Amino acid sequence: MLAVFRGKGVPESKLIYFPNAIDLKSDTPPPVRGEFRRRHGFAEAEFLAIYAGNLGVKQGLNVLLETAPLLRNPRIRIVICGDGAQREALAQRVRELKLGNITMLPLQQGEDYRELLADVDVCFITQQAGSGNSFFPSKLLGLLAAAKPVVTVAAPECELALSLAEGKFGVNIPPGHPRQLADLLEALAQDPQRLAEYGAAGQRYVEQFEKGRVFQDFASELQSIG
């Protein structure tokens, strides 16, 4: 993200990297596995690929609707959870196209969201082409802390895709390539070892964003300025 400011001529001495942070030392007990599936009628054998969050234009969620009819494995289910400006349009298109392997659910919060993470196989983070250079999705850290494999749909040069390439916690597909996304989901649904490796890599990668470490680094930067 600092590259945007460098490109505008801001000198390096005026730039400080202060990333999002996450509390990795929570005493909250882990959620019971299977509760999310039971509550929403998903079978244990189903491979759940889930997007959870804002349903807006910049999320580019139409790619999931374009991917669904290309899936050959009946075990794979795409779940879209959330609210936002595009929710009704997405729901209407799911109905019109008769996409039986897509389920739309309300926004999941609190314990419901934690139970979702316990049961999901893959988490999506999607971005409309051209939208990802000036922001970074904060929900990524929570997914990594929960050891969830991440599939991103984003421009290869954006911050999200670069982080994924660095951390090796999933796979990025460029926007506008539903066939590639469908093929990836088919492969992941048959490869639990690969999923486990992505999850473990994510847990290692997210350690650098632990709240105490981030705040300490930022405090040190401020002291050096003073």
Q: Which of 18-22, 23-27, 126-130 has the highest mean pLDDT?
A: 126-130
Kindly state the average pLDDT of the residues 138-148: 96
Residue 31's φ and ψ, nearest 5 degrees, are -70, 160
Please give the pLDDT value at position 226. 63
The average confidence (pLDDT) of the chain is 92
Measured CA to CA, the distance from residue 156 to residue 149 in angstroms comes to 18
Residue 217 binned pLDDT confidence (cut-offs 50, 70, 90): confident
Domain boundaries, the chain: 33-208
Q: Which of 138, 129, 163 is nearest to 60 (CA)?
A: 129
Give the mean pLDDT of 145-169.
96
- Paired with 171 in beta bridges are 151
pTM for the whole thing?
Answer: 0.91
Tell me how far apart the alpha carbons of residues 42 and 67 are, in angstroms, rounded to a whole number: 20
Give the torsion through C-alpha atoms of 14, 161, 106, 42, to 10 deg: -150
Q: What pLDDT was estimated at residue 64?
A: 99
**Nearest in space to 104 (alpha carbons), one of 55, 34, 145:** 55
What average pLDDT does this structure show over 163-183? Answer: 98
Q: Which CATH architecture has domain 33-208?
A: 3-Layer(aba) Sandwich (3.40)
What is the arrangement of strands in the sheet containing 170-173, beginning at the earlier edge strand? 102-105, 76-81, 47-52, 122-126, 150-153, 170-173
Query: Does residue 133 carry a pLDDT above 70?
Result: no
Note the pLDDT of residue 67.
99
CB 119 within 8 A of CB 37: yes
* Contact predicate 90/67, CB 8 Å: no
